[in-house]
Structure 1
């Protein structure tokens, strides 16, 4: 089960890195993740959630992370988004990040009984190199939490999801966020449109 990008926090609307870290970044060991782990246990599913989170090794930043919980409620994969225009990424602290997590932390693949899972977050689906690197590391299922404009026609990301599945002989499971309310962005800028591509 894949939850959409920004499912718990929304996205920054002009806040500084320090402001958004305090306002919306979750503690990786915090109550929110414990509650999500319980959802995975209660429903006996692999649960994929995308959220902003703090990192004790880089306390001045936050990362946009995608975590997959097993049916036992254990985090089996944590991917911190590499390609991000508006938020910090491991690339901003590359040497330190590699020293702490190694390449397995940069390009994680979880080996599970339903297949080898990896994450390609939101518009990262437009970068074929990331999906290929994960496939070369064994990924068979690419999860794609996203928040994107919908259209009756195929969007660039919808086309890219199909391309990444074909190029890598992989499944792509994507969940898009629903409508927006209470902000200056038009409400129908996102309105669902989740996909399973094989």
Structure 2
């Protein structure tokens, strides 16, 4: 089985970016990918350092143009597509940062970003209400997929939660442009893969958006932390890699991290 990370630059107009994303999904599907991940808010510019009330013009419902394209591509190619949108709701002033998973054209999961930064040039708390549900593993027919979003990669509890629910692949859509974070970006993703013995697929934006220069590094990581495929620096494209679920489960038997956990000792992690 193959999985793919899409690396994409936001255009001036949303419909142009959506069309380009569709092309890249088709490219990944043509290479055999059965799971394709899009970057965080792939169709629109991402937030800038200064809060801007006008940014809410980019909000869309879960059945808006971004997810409509993702669902259509999922159905057309018979694959799983994980999308990411600035979700508007029926409640005035309430918005979410939401990832949606489509399998063969049908929505099977929506995960709202629960950990929101207001630091390092990303004032997301200004715009979004945090999600109230933990990540979970979603069955796609071929594998079980968990999703966390960007800033949440700094919180190992979230990926472990998805892994304990049976995730074999962790999808991480990101919008990462911070120079200091670039130094530890891959280190964190590799650690999630190793500690949880799963594959990690990470899709980042690329290119300059006002004050932010997104560095890409979209990739697929193996359970041993190795980089299995990566998009070239500064370019749009797809990273497609083959994954081996039998080998994954064999690794979990040889290195039984989940067997040797001691949850009774971890109470301090959830105490307020």
TM-score range normalised by the length of the shorter chain: 0.7 to 0.9
Q: Find runs of 4+ consecutive structure 1 residues off by over 3 angstroms.
A: none
Question: Is 1:37 equivalent to 2:61 in the alignment?
Answer: no
Match of 2:219 in 1: 195
Q: 1:32 to 1:149 in 2, by over 3 A?
A: closer
Q: Deviations over 1:68-102 (max 9, x none)?
A: 111x21111211001111232336xxxxx5xxxxx
- The equivalent of 1:117 in structure 2 is 145
Matched, 1:136 2:169: no
Q: Tell me which residue corresponds to 2:94.
A: 61
Query: How many residues align structurally?
Result: 176
Shift of 1:48: 1.2
Q: Does 1:89 align with 2:129?
A: yes
Shift of 1:59: 4.0
Partner of 2:52: 15
Q: Cα distance 1:142–1:40, how it changes in 2: closer, same or farther (>3 A)?
A: same
Change (3 A) 1:8 1:132: same
For 1:49 and 1:29, the matched residues in 2 are separated by 12
Larger radius of gyration: 2
Mapped contact 1:147–1:177 kept (Cα < 8 A): yes
Gaps of 5+ in 1: 92-96, 98-104
Supply the distance in 2 between the matched residues of 1:46 and 1:155 (Cα, whole angstroms).
31
* Aligned-pair CA distance for 1:150: 8.0
User: Is residue 174–residue 195 contact of structure 1 (8 Å, CA) maintained in 2?
Assistant: yes
CA–CA distance in structure 1, aligned partners of residues 220 and 175 of structure 2: 16
Select 1:173's aligned residue among 201, 212, 225.
Answer: 201
For residues 47 and 168 of structure 1, the distance between their equivalents in structure 2, rounded to whole angstroms, comes to 22
Give 1:145 shift: 0.8
Structure 2, gaps ≥5 residues long: 1-35, 118-123, 223-272
Task: State the partner residue of 1:80.
Answer: 112
Structure scoring higher RCO (CA < 8 A, sep ≥ 6) equals 2
Tell me the alpha carbon deviations over residues 95-127 of structure 1, each in whole angstroms, 9 at most, x when there is no partner.
Answer: xx5xxxxxxx44332112221111111121121
* Higher strand fraction (1 or 2): 2
